[in-house]
């Protein structure tokens, strides 16, 4: 019995040493899985920021390419390949394909520093507020199947809260919107109550699609998605209002002539899109007004001091902050590097978990 006890004690010590070593040596991975883009960090370094898509050989899970440019190149003229986008409107569209995508990312970017091959990375993943419990479990299974060890979900409100508190001192009450490609998350964080979150099917892709439709109807040419994105980012804007005047900008891009079907070019003006974009923003303003109607007067007063914080890739639309200031009558601040704001918030949450 004594000998058995000695061996058991030794086994327990070895087990504890093994667990300590695996937890210390395990790489730490953070994910922000978006409908359009995925952001991924490994041990605090941003290693992947690209489209949430990949290419495999048909009828296999052998990944050939990850991200937009490589996917486009791989698909050109190759009928033996097919592409997938496993996340749509902020939700898991295909569990099995998401597992393949995540596994390919982990295999490419995670280097196991441990001498123990069993070590799996610890994964922190942003969890959109519109996911159901079923979707959350599906995402967890995808991360585990892809090779993740400990899985920790960080809510969007927690990510936003951490980032704004670190970036802007003495901010106690937060009103923010993360504008994604297809989904936008509205978050209210009050010092004396639980977070209020709402996800809406409204995002930056609406502006891209409206540009394509407008140019098709007015100029009788068809833009590819890449050139519509170029117009959106470089010249398209919202009106400045009575106190300011937009600088007139123009851009010439390639397109397909819808009459002759031949390649052509089209020159568009920034003023072409002001009214169009205002109509799209009116949908968002209506949602804001509805949400504000559910707040009490103290909460409205609390957020009016700090105003609205904008993050996400869609927040970079020209003059969006000025437009919202006029419509909402509160200050509007665009977070520094808004397109990586959520993954930075996940990183901050990860550091707090490690300390605790």
Give the count of beta carbons closer than 10 Å to the beta carbon of residue 162. Answer: 20
Give the pLDDT of residue 206.
Answer: 94
Task: State both tokens at 211.
Answer: 């540009």
For the chain, what is the radius of gyration of the CA atoms? 24
Per-residue model confidence (pLDDT) at position 117? 52
First to last CA, the chain: 39
Phi, psi of 250, rounded to the nearest 5 degrees: -140, 155
Question: Which is nearest to 186 in space by CA: 160, 153, 168?
Answer: 160
What burial class does residue 22 get, using C-beta atoms within 10 Å of its C-beta: 0-12 exposed, 13-18 middle, 19+ buried?
middle
pLDDT at 32: 95
**Residue spans of the chain under pLDDT 50:** 1-8, 11-13, 15-22, 113-116
pLDDT tens for each residue of 123-132 = 999 987 667 8
pLDDT at 78: 75
Secondary structure of 309-326 in HEC code, one letter for each residue: EEECHHHHCECHHHHHHH
> Strand 263-269 and strand 250-257: pairing?
antiparallel
Give the global pTM.
Answer: 0.85
């Amino acid at each position: 019995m004594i000998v058995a006890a000695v061996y058991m004690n030794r086994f327990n010590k070895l087990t504890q040493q093994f667990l300590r070593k695996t937890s210390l040596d395990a790489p730490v991975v953070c994910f922000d899985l978006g409908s359009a883009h995925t952001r991924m960090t490994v041990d605090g370094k941003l290693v992947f920021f690209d489209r949430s898509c990949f290419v495999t050989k048909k009828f296999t899970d052998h990944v050939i390419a990850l991200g937009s440019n490589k996917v486009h190149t791989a698909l050109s003229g190759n009928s033996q390949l097919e592409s997938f986008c496993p996340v749509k409107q902020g939700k898991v569209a295909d569990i099995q394909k998401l597992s393949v995508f995540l596994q390919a990312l982990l295999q490419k970017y995670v280097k196991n520093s441990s001498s123990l091959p069993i070590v799996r990375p610890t994964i922190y993943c942003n969890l959109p507020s519109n996911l159901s419990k079923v979707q959350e479990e599906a995402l967890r299974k995808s991360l585990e199947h892809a090779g993740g060890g400990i899985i920790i979900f960080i809510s969007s409100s927690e990510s936003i809260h951490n980032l704004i508190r670190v970036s802007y001192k003495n901010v106690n009450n937060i009103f923010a919107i993360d504008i994604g490609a297809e989904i936008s998350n509205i978050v209210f964080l009050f010092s004396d109550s639980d977070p209020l979150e709402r996800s809406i099917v409204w995002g930056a892709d609406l502006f891209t699609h409206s540009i394509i439709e407008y140019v098709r109807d007015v100029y009788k040419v068809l833009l590819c998605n890449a050139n519509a994105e170029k117009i959106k980012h470089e010249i398209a804007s919202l009106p400045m209002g009575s106190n300011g005047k937009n600088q007139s900008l123009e851009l010439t891009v390639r397109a397909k002539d819808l009459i002759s079907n031949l390649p052509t070019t089209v020159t568009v003006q920034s003023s072409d899109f002001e009214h169009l974009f205002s109509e799209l923003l009116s949908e968002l303003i209506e949602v804001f007004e509805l949400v504000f109607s559910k707040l009490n007067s103290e909460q409205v007063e609390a957020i009016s001091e700090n105003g609205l914080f904008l993050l996400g890739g869609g927040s970079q639309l020209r003059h969006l902050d000025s437009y919202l200031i006029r419509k909402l009558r509160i200050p509007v601040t665009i977070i520094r590097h808004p397109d990586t704001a959520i993954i930075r918030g996940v990183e901050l949450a990860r550091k707090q978990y490690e300390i605790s």
